[in-house]
Structure 1
Amino acid sequence: MTTIAGLPLHPLLVHAIVVLAPLAALLGILCAVWPAARRRFVWLLLALATVNLALTPLTIEAGEWLYNRAGAHSPILETHEERGETMLYFSIALMVMAIAVAVLHVLSSRSDKPRTAAAVAVAVLAVVVGVSSIVQVVRIGHSGTEAKWGVIAE
């Protein structure tokens, strides 16, 4: 499926990724560093990361369809296409991070022993994956906006 109601599917799906990926990233960081948030939001985090991961390949495929329908490709459109393809790796990383937070939650709830080393490792993972995912969404979006609307004033 490449269109919906006659509109290209890619820009519609992009809006979901632009919301879901940063939301999962920020929620993952919050859950990783704050146990009270983890107890309350861990399953929401897992759901957001899952939906994001499911929509990412569809968004990439719809973008490739749109890219192939365009005639000549500008260098910035090629940059956008190349950066967009990398989002799958960031979505996978967000899913791995969400799973790690969920595993930490389950292990912590089954035992009274503090799991400090695991908590620190998951927090570091969440911060690295979360921040890099947000940065990549911005980079992809910026190049896509530039490709569509021209150079953006700084």
Structure 2
Amino acid sequence: MIEIAGLPAHILLVHAVVVLGPIAGLAAIIYAAAPRWRRYLAWPLGVLALLLVPISLVTAQAGEQLEESRPATEMIREHAEQGDVLKIVSVIFFVIVAAMIVTSYDPIGRRFAFLGSLRDNRAVRLVLLVAGALAGAFFLYQSIVTGHSGAASVWGR
């Protein structure tokens, strides 16, 4: 089992996902809904979405190791299932956010000139902005549900 300062790593790593996941989800929603905020949010949102992929995967791996070392209850199994969903959601979220930023933020999009007319297509941009907002909302939801199921499994509520 992975440990940090004698504590199971999952207990410490989970805080990064529980805090950064909802922030990233909200940032994606704001990015999609408020064009004037895009220049402020593009880089932080892209970096945060990228960082959340390995953080989610490592946290889930540490959680699986913790689960193997303790007797599993129904609540822990439910939390593990929610964590598996969150891993997938974090990858999908990153892909959608990256596509959304590339098509809607000019300073980044210019580096992807090979996308040509795809980048200039308003329908594609609109679809990606809506998908980004929906992915942000679902990532926000899944982060909260996963965190809540983990807290409930520890605190018994």
Q: TM-score, normalised by structure 2?
A: 0.85
Query: Normalising to structure 1: TM-score of the pair?
Result: 0.87
Q: For residues 27-50 of structure 1, give each alpha carbon's deviation from its aligned partner in whole angstroms, at most 9, with x where no partner exists.
A: 112112222211222011111011
Q: Report which of the two has the higher share of helix.
A: 2
Whichever residue aligns with residue 12 of structure 1, its letter is L
Verify the 8 A CA contact 1:28 1:101 in the aligned structure 2: no
**Map of 1:26 onto structure 2:** 26
Unaligned runs of 5+ in 2: 111-115
CA drift at 1:13: 0.7
Identity %: 34
Aligned pairs (5 A) from 1:125-144:
125-144=131-150
Q: Is the 8 A contact 1:49 1:98 kept in 2?
A: yes
Structure 1 residue 106: Cα displacement: 3.3
* Equivalent residue number for residue 14 of structure 2: 14
Alpha-carbon distance in structure 2 between the residues aligned to 1:11 and 1:67: 12
Cα distance change on mapping 1:8 and 1:109 into 2, 3 Å: closer
- Alignment RMSD (CA, Å): 2.2
Aligned residues: 149
Q: Deviations over 1:26-83 (max 9, x none)?
A: 1112112222211222011111011111111100110001000002x21111111111
Q: Deviations over 1:91-133 (max 9, x none)?
A: 012201220222121389659x975323321221012111111
